[in-house]
Amino acid sequence: MRILFVAAEAAPIAKAGGMGDVVGSLPKVLRQLGHDVRIFLPYYGFLPDKMTIPDEPMWNGYVMFQDFLVYETLLPDTDIPLYLFAHPVFSGRNIYGGEDEGWRFTLFSNGAAEFAWNYWKPDIIHCHDWHTGMIPVWMHQSPDIATVFTIHNLAYQGPWRGYLEKITWCPWYMQGDNVMSAALQYANRVTTVSPTYAEQIKTVPYGENLHGLLSYIQNNLVGIVNGIDTDVYDPATDPYIKSNFNGDTLENRPANKLALQEELGLKPDEKPFLIGMVTRLVEQKGIDLVIQILERFLTYTDAQFIILGTGDRYYETQLWQMAGRLPGRMSVRLLYNEALSRRIYAGSDAFLMPSRFEPCGIAQMMAMRYGCVPLVRRTGGLVDTVSFHDPVKEVGTGFSFDRYEPLDLYTCLVRAWESFRYKPDWLKLQQRGMGMDFSWYQSAVEYLKIYKEITGQPADLTASSCL
């Protein structure tokens, strides 16, 4: 089967969130399963710093009164063909942002459609978020090319219809007030990144004003949990951490905690309960709850806290000032650093994700992979990936709370802090988390079932038959 992934991100070369992990990992597994999978990505100005790109383009096109070029290379460390859409509007060093974001990603989508029609014709175009949302609309007139549209973040819905009609071709049959709503109606199948989130977005609190439409297309909506690249994120071989370990050698893990504490200016000591966060500092991620209760929690316990990320200036300032009042107890790093994030997974005792909403979440799976116990709010993909710790029955992989309230988060933190004192039970909790299978293989099988169904092929796939 010929499958073209079209997206704004692809790890490890262009990543701002979970979409990058999906587009950088899922095609590798699909290709291992015998399918011809390729990726179409904008040629961002920073890409030559991260990979080798040929000097000469392999194709050129013309859309929206603009010339563009396409360069062909490989996704680093894979055999996956990577097509880079080159136009001056993507020559900057940012993925998102800017007043022209709607125009430039509409141009990108138009270029991807022309590429699929005129150069490499796939059986499936797998589109990701609003940046590619016009592709299912245009492909509606090409029944020999099916489309899958994946929602990573429903809150961002792209340009409105009136603006689209000014800059690009909107077919006579097109319906929808914006790019996202149009994509939901014309994709052969709509997916999102966890079963719980697929149900939640059909309700008012999570539907971002599209809950009615999502309920209407519910028979065409599927939730599939993301995975992680277990070869890349492996504490037994990770070169970025101080001491490698696995589920049977957790006695080697404390060295990572001590090294992390020293690196980030905390008092090196195995005894304190060390909580880590790697996140975007935005409202979605529950930062407002953290700011309300964290200082009190650290004052009345021996816990330490680390947070890594960037985002809203207000949250950055509040966290920075709080760290100044808690020297040796709290560390804030306002940057993106992949290597440091892995050291936080490997060295922290617990990983905090108090999200207001979370379509899937990748960080909690990475944390468990590294023996770091997740503390999460029960929403979206966090429900599907983290089960509640019951030390009596010896089940569960983490701690959770339901209501989006400061007191509920505070209670969850205290419960985890108290449980950390019982080392034998905590060790079993870590091992259960590390034993979870978060590889992409099962997810890939589910996507292949969808691909086969919408192209009229027999859906006879099972995980065992593919592996």
The CATH number assigned to the domain holding 203 equals: 3.40.50.2000
Domain shared by 322 and 221, yes or no: no
Q: State the burial class of residue 452 (Cβ atoms within 10 Å of its Cβ: 0-12, 13-18, 19+).
A: middle
Both 35 and 55 in one domain: the answer is yes
Residue 46 in any domain: the answer is yes
The single-letter code of the amino acid at 74 is L
How high is the pLDDT of residue 460?
64
Residues of the chain with pLDDT under 50: 463-467
Q: Are residues 349 and 289 in the same domain?
A: yes
Q: Are 263 and 177 in the same domain?
A: no
Q: How many CB atoms lie within 10 A of CB 28?
A: 20
Do 190 and 265 lie in one domain? The reply is no
pTM here?
A: 0.89
Give the burial string for 68-91 (b: 16+ CB within 10 Å, else e). Answer: bbbbbbebeeeebbbbbbbbebbe
Question: How high is the pLDDT of residue 457?
Answer: 87
- Residue 239 within any structural domain of the chain: no
Residue 233 lies in a domain: no
H-helix or E-strand spanning residue 419: helix 406-420
Residue 25 resides in a domain: yes
Residue 273 shares a structural domain with residue 404 = yes
CA neighbor of 44 nearest in space, from 80, 112, 105, 91: 91
Same-domain check for residues 185 and 71: yes
Q: Structural domain of residue 459, as residue ranges? A: 2-227+440-466
Check whether residue 191 and residue 275 sit in a common domain: no
Same domain? 312 vs 423: yes
Residue 218 token pair: 């519910």
| Pair 313, 455 in one domain | no
Residues 126 and 160 in one domain: yes
Query: What is the number of structural domains in the chain?
Result: 2
Contact (CB, 8 A) for 68 and 114: no
Residue 213 structure tokens: 């439409």
Residue 241 lies in a domain: no
> What average pLDDT is seen over the chain?
95
Q: Does residue 257 share a domain with residue 196?
A: no
